[in-house]
Amino acid sequence: IKLNYISDPQEFNSKVQLGDMCVTEIDDIERNSYCFTDGNGLISKGLARKIAEQFGYLVKYEQNELYPSAYQIRMAGCKGIVIIDPESTTNQFYIKIRSSMEKFKYDEWDLDICEESRPIPTRLNNQITILLSDLGIPDSVFLNLQDKRFNNKKQPPRCKQDMLKNKIPLPMNECRYMFGCALESKLKSGQCYIRHQIIDDDGKPLKNPQFQTVVGPIIITKNPCPYAGDIMKFEAVDLPELDCLKDVVVFSTEGNRPDFNKIAGSDLDGDQYFVYWGRELQISEPIEPLEYKAQSPNINSTPITANNIVNYCLSLLCATSYGEIYNLHAIVVDQNEENHPKRTCQKLAIELTNMFSAAIDSGKTGYQIDINRIKEIQILVGHKYPDFLMKTPSYESQSILGILYRQALNFKNQNPQLFEDQDMNNSANISTKLSEKYFRFYVRIRTQLNIDLDMIHQELYSVLGNNAPSKIIIDQWSDYYKKKDVNTTKSIESSTNTSIDDINEVCSRMDNNLHITNNEIQENVNMNSDTKAFTDN
């Protein structure tokens, strides 16, 4: 869908009244150096409906229609989400972007849809569970939820890996993953608005959609959430003027600091929040949230060369990963050497929490984690993992996570046939999806078009020139890519005439051949010997 950008407010309003598809920019709500609408714009009801109709999201029932209330978009250098403007009509077709959505200047206003709001069931995981435990939820509550999962004959555990990672489903209509959003409203700081679609026990919407507005105490967090203060308590209220906003959580634009920013330093450009309004997991006293500040990049005072650029880009791939920091954080929290009543609030745990946040943003900020400090912490905590991380060597964790893990392990061992059958079905489903999504595309590119890597190599040379940083990357990687691609090409070429049922094995080999790991990068590029990549659990 192509829109016409109009900067003049009067002209924009005139075009909107005529039913033209147009876009304009509006101001963010800013206060105290915070942006209360960070990454969040508006879309008219008419355009939201048109998109839904084009993409097959539109649901007609009785005398009504249902379409998404929010879309995650990319458009002309802008990214973020747009939510339905309550003041718009179905005869208006516009988008209002915020300044915070603009990442770079570009003047082609073609609208790309990345994702839409919809009912998404949620579940507990290790991070959320340990935070709730820190905030006073008894172990018996988690064990009871796990036991209900084990005894659910209608929907028994489908994946042993999810079960062993303590991913415990929660009641369908007591929680959701939801886009967060904010707009001018009567919501006060600490309040939010949630109107969700009722879903059945299979997680599917009803044939005749029904909705419920949540009123009362709720908790909200967002993965990753390594600190107890990353779970916030809110009061959900009913504001009829916002009833067009469904399956999203609407935050207030009041207060000294944005409520969503208190939740693990989040924004509104597409972050999905864990929202729970049931009763079993409600917390009484939340912890003061951390202030996650963006780290400044390491500055190099010497002239930057092409080799500097290449080595920096490759070092990002091999640098201390947030997976490594997460594992260290999990060990520190589990060991609780400080005997802190709230494990995630230990000084060392908070230090790792801040490191974790900086590592996640390092690709944008250029900041690199202090590897020497990581090594110091590794020596301090030792080299054994709590058993629930499923790494070796390990020790038996005494936390609720270890207890849940061993309960799940016992259940798996007592029901081997159950998981053999279900793992086989899950594997087949995944392979089928891989086949349909990737196989034909890869065949078309590598065999039907007969693209040769040597040809690409020479073409890049001619375009980039001999001194471009990109040429250095080509030199370092060309032979490596060729080696990775040889077996894959042979497999693909021998299978282009096979049926879809015979493709699964090829897809598996293709994935194995094309996946480049951080360790392989280290082996093929002369990197700093102190740098080591770790895989997240």
Q: Beta strand 4-5 with 21-26: parallel, antiparallel or unpaired?
A: parallel
∠ CA 95-70-241 to the nearest 5 degrees? 85
Q: Are residues 480 and 516 in the same domain?
A: yes
CB 50 within 8 A of CB 58: no
Question: Residue 461: inside a domain, yes or no?
Answer: yes
Q: Are residues 108 and 139 in the same domain?
A: no
Question: Residue 394: inside a domain, yes or no?
Answer: no
∠ CA 84-233-399 to the nearest 5 degrees? 125
* Residues 268, 491: Cα–Cα separation, whole Å: 44
422's CB contacts (< 8 A; 6+ apart) are 156, 157, 158, 159, 160
In angstroms, the Cα distances linking 407 to 140, 163, 282, 420 are 13, 10, 24, 19
Among 82, 116, 150, the domain-final residue is: 116
Q: Are residues 70 and 200 in the same domain?
A: no
Task: Quote the tokens at residue 533.
Answer: 């990549």
Among 383, 408, 441, the domain-final residue is: 383
What is the signed CA dihedral for 439, 440, 441, 446, rounded to 10 degrees?
Answer: 90
- With tokens 């101001």, the residue in question is 27
Q: Which residue has the higher pLDDT, 190 or 479?
A: 190
* Residues 67, 52: Cα–Cα separation, whole Å: 6
Question: Residue 403: inside a domain, yes or no?
Answer: no
Please, which pLDDT band fits residue 443 given cuts at 50, 70 and 90? Answer: very low
Closest to 133 in 3D by CA, of 342, 286, 278, 277: 342
Question: Residue 263: inside a domain, yes or no?
Answer: yes
Please, which pLDDT band fits residue 244 given cuts at 50, 70 and 90? Answer: very high
Q: Are residues 172 and 87 in the same domain?
A: no
Question: Residue 190: inside a domain, yes or no?
Answer: yes
Residues in the chain: 537
In angstroms, the Cα distances linking 229 to 7, 92, 216, 232, 283 are 41, 42, 20, 7, 12
Q: Please give the full DSSP string across 465-514, using - where no structure is assigned.
A: -TT-HHHHHHHHHHHHHHHHHHHHHHHHHTTTTS-GGGHHHHHHHHHHHH
Residue 258 dihedral angles phi and psi, to the nearest 5°: -60, 135
Q: Are residues 373 and 314 in the same domain?
A: yes
* Residues 68, 47: Cα–Cα separation, whole Å: 11
Question: Residue 284: inside a domain, yes or no?
Answer: no
Q: Are residues 139 and 239 in the same domain?
A: yes
Full domain range(s) for residue 367: 306-383
Tell me how many domains the chain contains. Answer: 4
Is the pLDDT score of 317 beyond 60? no
Among 65, 84, 116, the domain-final residue is: 116
Q: Are residues 55 and 77 in the same domain?
A: yes
CA-based torsion, 11, 15, 17, 23: positive or negative: negative
Q: Are residues 182 and 255 in the same domain?
A: yes
Give the CB-side neighbour count of residue 359, counting CA atoms within 13 A: 24
Burial of 210 (0-12, 13-18, 19+ CB in 10 A): exposed
Least confident window among 35-44, 163-172, 205-214, 302-311 = 302-311
* Residues 474, 299: Cα–Cα separation, whole Å: 27
When pLDDT is averaged across residues 46-74 and rounded to a whole number, the result is 93
Please, which pLDDT band fits residue 50 given cuts at 50, 70 and 90? Answer: very high
Question: Residue 300: inside a domain, yes or no?
Answer: no
Please, which pLDDT band fits residue 105 given cuts at 50, 70 and 90? Answer: confident
Is the pLDDT score of 143 beyond 90? yes
Question: Residue 285: inside a domain, yes or no?
Answer: no
* Residues 192, 46: Cα–Cα separation, whole Å: 25
Please, which pLDDT band fits residue 359 given cuts at 50, 70 and 90? Answer: confident
Q: Are residues 226 and 318 in the same domain?
A: no
* Residues 529, 315: Cα–Cα separation, whole Å: 11
Q: What percent of the chain has pLDDT over 90?
A: 57
